[in-house]
Amino acid sequence: MSKSNGKTGGIVIKKYANRRLYDTSTSQYVTLDYLRDLVKKGTDFQVVDAKSGDDLTRGVLAQIIFEEESRGANLLPVDFLRQLIGFYGDSLQSVVPGYLQMSMNSFSQQQEEFRDKMTEAMSSPQATVAMIEEQTRRNMELFGQTMRMFTPFPAGAGEAPEGSARSETAAESKPEDLSALREELDGLRAKMDQLLDKK
């Protein structure tokens, strides 16, 4: 058990068969709300099965998210959840965690800038559209970086003609993606204009 604690450098929470959680650093039983507050404070912890020592952290964090969602704090859109479920067992399943991690890291690093832009967006529909376009562009860049991480042949390896053909295909698909995004944004603009006209 001490091995686990030393490895994570955080608090060890033991989970018992009766579902009770025990914080070994304070020697007291705790709740999911207590663990949620630890996450918000940036305190690292690991949840382990009290009997077997198995790591249960992922399941407990998912349970905290479920609790928050059931209280009405709807952070995860239904379409996103459906897409995420669809990736289980898919050939891209191994790519998804890295992409989501990179996206969240990027979002966290830029959260102050994002808050300022949100405040500005509340006063101007044009600013809202610009913000959506910028975030979409960043997400596409992140996805491209993630895909490059999982490409079996790094750039420069293998024969040049195949590498060139691959880059040409990627370059050809980009304008199509951008036009689809532009159409989507035009639709959003039209809806926003309608909403503003009603006011």
* pLDDT digits 0-9 by tens, 140-175: 776 676 666 655 555 554 444 444 444 444 444 456
> So where are the chain's domains?
2-70, 78-198
- pLDDT at position 154 is 52
Instruction: Provide the angle, in degrees to the nearest 10, between the axes of the packed helices 57-70 and 32-41.
Output: 100
Rounded to two decimals, what is the model's pTM?
0.54
Top-confidence residue, 166 or 128: 128
The per-residue b/e assignment along 53-68, b for 16 or more CB within 10 angstroms, e otherwise, is eeebbeebbeeeeeeb
- Once rounded to an integer, what is the mean pLDDT over residues 57-65? 95
pLDDT band at 107 (very low <50, low <70, confident <90, very high): confident
21 touches 31 (CB < 8 A): yes
**Tokens 């009405």, located at residue:** 72
Token pair recorded at residue 83:
């897409």
Position 147 scores a pLDDT of 63
User: Poorest-confidence range of 37-41, 76-80, 194-198?
Assistant: 194-198
Lookup: tokens for 78: 């239904």
